[in-house]
Amino acid sequence: MNILIKNSKVVSPADGINGINDILISDGKIAQIGESISADGAQIIDAEGLCAIPGLVDMHVHLRDPGQTQKEDILSGCRAAAAGGVTGLLAMPNTTPATDSPETVKYILEKAKRADAKVYVAGSITKGLKSQEPTDIAELKRAGAIAFTDDGRPVENTKYLSEAMKLAPQYGMRVVAHCEDLFLADKGIINEGEISEKLGVKGIPAAAEDCGTAREIALAAALGVPVHICHVSTKTSVELIRDAKNRGVKVTAETAPHYFSLTENELLKRDADFRMNPPLRTISDVDEIINGLLDGTLDAIATDHAPHTVEDKSDFENAPNGSIGMETSLAVGITCLVKRGLMSFEKLVEKMSVNPAKILGINAGTLAVGVPADIALVDLNEEWVVDADKLHGKSKNTPFKGRRLFGKVKKTILDGRVVFED
How many structural domains compose the chain? 2
What's the pLDDT score for residue 316?
Answer: 98
Question: Is residue 254 predicted with pLDDT exceeding 90?
Answer: yes
Cβ proximity of 119 and 89 under 8 Å: yes
What's the pLDDT score for residue 225?
Answer: 98
Kindly report the CATH number assigned to the domain that includes residue 321.
3.20.20.140
pLDDT band, very low/low/confident/very high, at 313 (cuts 50, 70, 90): very high
Q: Tell me: the pLDDT tens digits for 71-105?
A: 999 999 999 999 999 999 999 999 999 999 999 99
Q: Is 295 in the active site?
A: no
**Residue 367 belongs to a domain:** no
Containing structural domain, residue 60: 55-360
Instruction: Looking at the structure, tell me whether residues 174 and 317 fall in a common domain.
Output: yes
What's the pLDDT score for residue 350?
Answer: 98
322-324-325 Cα angle (round to 5): 125
Q: Tell me: the pLDDT tens digits for 323-370?
A: 999 999 999 999 999 999 999 999 999 999 999 999 999 999 999 999
Q: What percent of the chain has pLDDT over 90?
A: 100
Q: Which of 65, 151, 210, 304 is catalytic?
A: 304
Least confident interval from 39-43, 162-166, 289-293, 306-310: 39-43
Amino acid of residue 176: V
Q: Which of 317, 337, 360 is the C-terminal boundary of a domain?
A: 360
Instruction: Looking at the structure, tell me whether residues 45 and 185 fall in a common domain.
Output: no
Distance from C-alpha of 242 to C-alpha of 225, rounded to nearest angstrom: 17
What's the pLDDT score for residue 291?
Answer: 98
Instruction: Looking at the structure, tell me whether residues 180 and 297 fall in a common domain.
Output: yes
Average pLDDT score over residue span 313-321: 98
Q: How confident is the prediction for the chain on average, in pLDDT?
A: 98
**Residue 16 belongs to a domain:** yes
Distance from C-alpha of 361 to C-alpha of 167, rounded to nearest angstrom: 16
pLDDT band, very low/low/confident/very high, at 1 (cuts 50, 70, 90): confident
Question: Is residue 374 predicted with pLDDT exceeding 90?
Answer: yes
pLDDT band, very low/low/confident/very high, at 227 (cuts 50, 70, 90): very high
Long-range pairs for 272-275 at CB < 8 Å and ≥24 separation? Answer: 272/313, 272/314, 272/315, 272/316, 272/319, 272/397, 273/313, 273/323, 273/397, 273/398, 273/399, 273/401, 274/323, 274/399, 275/189, 275/190, 275/316, 275/319, 275/321, 275/322, 275/323
Q: Which of 308, 329, 360 is the C-terminal boundary of a domain?
A: 360
Does this model's pTM top 0.85?
yes
Instruction: Looking at the structure, tell me whether residues 168 and 188 fall in a common domain.
Output: yes
